[in-house]
Structure 1
Amino acid sequence: MTDAETGCSDLERWADGSWYLPTYAEEYFLARHHRIEYVAFEQRIASLAWLHNKITSGVDTELAEMQEMRRSGTHRVPGWEVDSDHALRESELVLDTDVRRIGSGVILSAAVAALESLMNQMLDQPTDYRLHKAGLTLKARELASRWDASIDRAEFDKHIAWLRTRRNSFAHRLIDDVDRPQPTHAPVWDFDDEAADEALGRISAIASMLEEGWEQRLRLQAQPISAPDNGTSA
Structure 2
Amino acid sequence: RMEVCILWMDEPLSQWEKTILESRHSIYPVCGETVDDVIGTLSIKDFFRMPERTKETVLKEAVKPAYFVPETVRTDILFRNMRITRKFFAVVLDEYGGMSGIITMNDLIEEIVGDLGHEGKDDLPEIERIDTSTWKIRGSAPLDIVSKQIGIYLPIDEYETFGGFVFGLLGNIPDDGSTPELEDYGLQIKVQKVKDRRLESAIVCLCEPSPTQNNSLR
Could you state the TM-score of these two structures normalised by the residue count of structure 2?
0.27
Return the structure number with greater strand share. Answer: 2
Of structures 1 and 2, the one scoring higher in RCO (CA 8 A, sep 6+) is 1
Q: Which has the higher helix share?
A: 1
